[in-house]
Amino acid sequence: MTALFSVYGFLDWFGSSRGTDPVLRAGLAHSWFLTVHPFEDGDSRVSRAIADMALAQAEGTGLRFYSMSSQIEARKDQHREVLGRTQKGSHDATRWLVWFLNCLDKAIVGAEASLSRILQKASAWERVNAPPQVSDRQKTALNAPLDGDNPDLSMLGYARLTL
């Protein structure tokens, strides 16, 4: 029964904690949900969704260009280690929040890099789409380096792309 009260405690806190710094609220909510882990399976996915939801609530917009969930998933070994120390130790969340904030920073930096590539590609296509028009094969060849998939593509590689 104690676990149920912990889950209810979490839900009450999450619903009424809007005055807490929104980024810290997201990190604390993620940590607390994993501490009470109410489900037999799926707690990690739900906790990542809770963190993303708390950040979206803080921003007050439906548009976000970064994902905490994917950053946390990519660092799941570190995540487990830092969270485990927090849960088993004094329950001081400082170390956990530092890790969470570093993860958020990486998510934002990664999104900035992705957006920069997208804007460069859009700018390149604005120049390319000016008359004369390019063929579908030429578009395929031009997209390869713009997408960054094949930065060292050889002439033979370009030929294969456009066949």
Question: Do residues 120 and 146 share a domain?
Answer: no
144 versus 23: the higher-pLDDT residue is: 23
* 96 plus 35 within the same structural domain: yes
Structural domain that includes position 150:
131-163
Rounded average pLDDT over 110-133: 80
* Dist CA 83 CA 27 (whole Å): 11
CA distances from residue 66 to 22, 69, 72 in whole angstroms, order as listed? 16, 9, 12
The structure tokens listed for 88 are: 């088993």
- Which pLDDT band holds residue 3 (cuts at 50, 70, 90)? very low
Helix, strand, coil tally for the chain in percent (to 5): 75, 0, 25
The CATH code of the domain that includes 26 is 1.10.3290.10
Whether residues 64 and 135 fall in one domain: no
Q: Of 5-19, 44-58, 134-148, which has the strongest mean pLDDT?
A: 44-58
Please tell me whether residues 84 and 14 are part of one structural domain: yes
pLDDT of residue 101: 93
Q: Are residues 38 and 113 in the same domain?
A: yes
What's the rounded mean pLDDT across residues 17-35? 85
Mean per-residue pLDDT for 55-64? 76
Q: What pLDDT is stored for residue 48 in this prediction?
A: 85
Give the tens place of pLDDT for each residue, 42-59. 688 888 888 888 888 887
Say if residue 51 is in the same domain as residue 103.
yes
> Would the pLDDT of 1 be above 50?
no
Are 105 and 152 in the same domain?
no
User: Residue 4 CB: number of other CB atoms within 10 A?
Assistant: 10
124 and 136 in a single domain? The answer is no
Please give the pLDDT value at position 103. 92
- What pTM does this model have? 0.65
Structural domains of the chain, count: 2
> Do 146 and 66 sit in the same domain of this protein?
no
